[in-house]
Amino acid sequence: MIPGRYELPVDLPPVTAPDVDARRAAVARHADLDVPDGALGKLAELGVWLAAAQGACPPRPLARPRVVVIAGDHGIAAAGVSAHAPGATARQVTAVREHTAPVGVLAAVAGVSVRVVDVALDSDGDDTGRHRVRRGSGRIDREDALTADETEKAIAAGRALADEEVDSGADLLVPASLGVGATTPAATLVAALTSTEPVAVIGRGSGIDDAGWMRKAAAVRDALRRARPHVRDPLALLRVAGGADLAALTGFCVQAALRRTPVLLDGLVVGAAALLADELAKGARDWWLYAQRSPDPAMALVEEHLGLSPVLDLGVRLGDGTGAVAAVPLLQMAARLLAETDAS
């Protein structure tokens, strides 16, 4: 944990902790169920977590779980750090919107709805553009990702997105990411926040080969050199070495906690944003559940620093929320077990 805590340019109310009484009631209810003690394992833990988040025991089955995919391009993609060509993000966004991407396919099975938001695609923008910050983000090994104003705008966009979803009835939020090259700034941010060397945070991401891995290592090394003077200032880190999507995801995670809405974390880009959100809003992590263990090495550092254990270990390294969606049915099962299992 970084000493000190940076304040946003706007006042943030304190994060309210999940309901302790509901948690205790859920633990007691599990103890009374007509099953051997501890026999429900992780399912019992999920039910207790959901009860505390909802402030009710037994917890209600989720009525409107929602994936919000935040899309943005990154200038660092031009350095050859991804298996995908720069500009491929727009095609990936189209696939999600047409429900042919993995997250869309699984969302239909799990009863989850999906929204895609363009905050920084390297294109003319979508039809509304209400949350669009800029066209692409800067190449972080040579220049800042954003200006200070753009950083604040992106965080505000993420907070507004969380508000929109909660106000529309979302009772579980899954922040997700689409962006060619996005794991490079994400790995840089994790390395900066955890005082880790570049080689320890670089994974295969989109499926890069050895040459791509070396290019990515060089990019993270150079970006980290620029980022390290700002490790005590999360907004400056996002400005120098992040991107509009990472800043928006940070704001989204902060606001979801402020709105007392549970969040499923999945993927390195979201994990890096969660580290920054945790710096900005103490206690936000209590509203988050780590959906599934990513094989990306930087996510092991995120897991350790946030003190979160994964629900699943699927080996999924997509950032679009696919792994998190796979965990949603388990939460539904956990809620029904607490509500409907006979007591002893």
Domains of the chain (ranges, CATH numbers): 65-327 (3.40.50.10210)
- Per-residue model confidence (pLDDT) at position 86: 82
Task: Answer whether residue 126 shows pLDDT above 80.
Answer: no
Both structure tokens of 302: 């995120």
234-243, 270-279, 280-289, 313-322: least confidently modelled range? 313-322
pTM of the predicted protein model: 0.94
For 132-185, how does the pLDDT look when each residue is reduced to its tens digit (9 = 90+)? Answer: 999 999 999 999 999 999 999 999 999 999 999 999 999 999 999 999 999 999
CA 146 vs CA 15, 183, 211: distances in Å: 27, 17, 28
Interval 5-56: pLDDT, tens: 444 555 788 999 999 999 999 999 999 988 888 889 999 999 999 999 999 9
Q: What are phi and psi of 263, to 5 degrees?
A: -130, 140
How much is the average pLDDT of 103-129?
Answer: 87
pLDDT band at 2 (very low <50, low <70, confident <90, very high): very low
As a whole number of angstroms, the distance between CA 245 and CA 250 comes to: 9
The residue among 325, 266, 317, 312 whose CA lies nearest residue 105 is 325
Six token digits for residue 183: 């794991």
pLDDT at 4: 39
Burial 170-185 (b: 16+ CB within 10 A, else e): bbbbbbbbbbbbbbbb
DSSP string, 24-70: HHHHHHHHHBSS-TTTTHHHHHHHHHHHHHHT-SSPPPPS-EEEEEE
pLDDT value at position 8?
A: 55
Q: What is the C-alpha to C-alpha distance for residues 72 and 88, in angstroms, rounded to an integer? A: 11
Give the residue among 314, 310, 243, 256 at the shortest CA–CA distance from 285: 256
Euclidean distance between CA atoms 191 and 223, whole angstroms: 10
pLDDT greater at residue 325 or residue 128 = 325
- Least Cα distance to 241 among 204, 188, 196, 287 occurs for 188
Percent share of the chain, pLDDT over 70: 96
pLDDT of residue 12: 83
For residue 3, name the pLDDT band (cuts at 50, 70, 90).
very low
What pLDDT score was predicted for residue 140?
Answer: 97
Per-residue pLDDT, 5: 43
Place of tokens 């007392």: 260
- The tens digit of pLDDT for each residue in 272-299 reads 999 999 999 999 999 999 999 988 999 9
Task: State the Cα–Cα distance between residues 320 and 221, nearest whole angstrom.
Answer: 26
Q: Report the pLDDT averaged over residues 76-104.
A: 91
Q: Quick one: which of 226, 144, 193 has its CA closest to 298?
A: 193
- Measured between its terminal Cα atoms, the distance across the chain in Å is 44
Bridge partners of residue 177, in order along the sequence: 70
Cα–Cα nearest to 102, from 67, 64, 127: 67
Joined tokens for residue 109: 């099975």
More confident residue, 198 or 272: 272
- Average pLDDT of every residue of the chain: 92
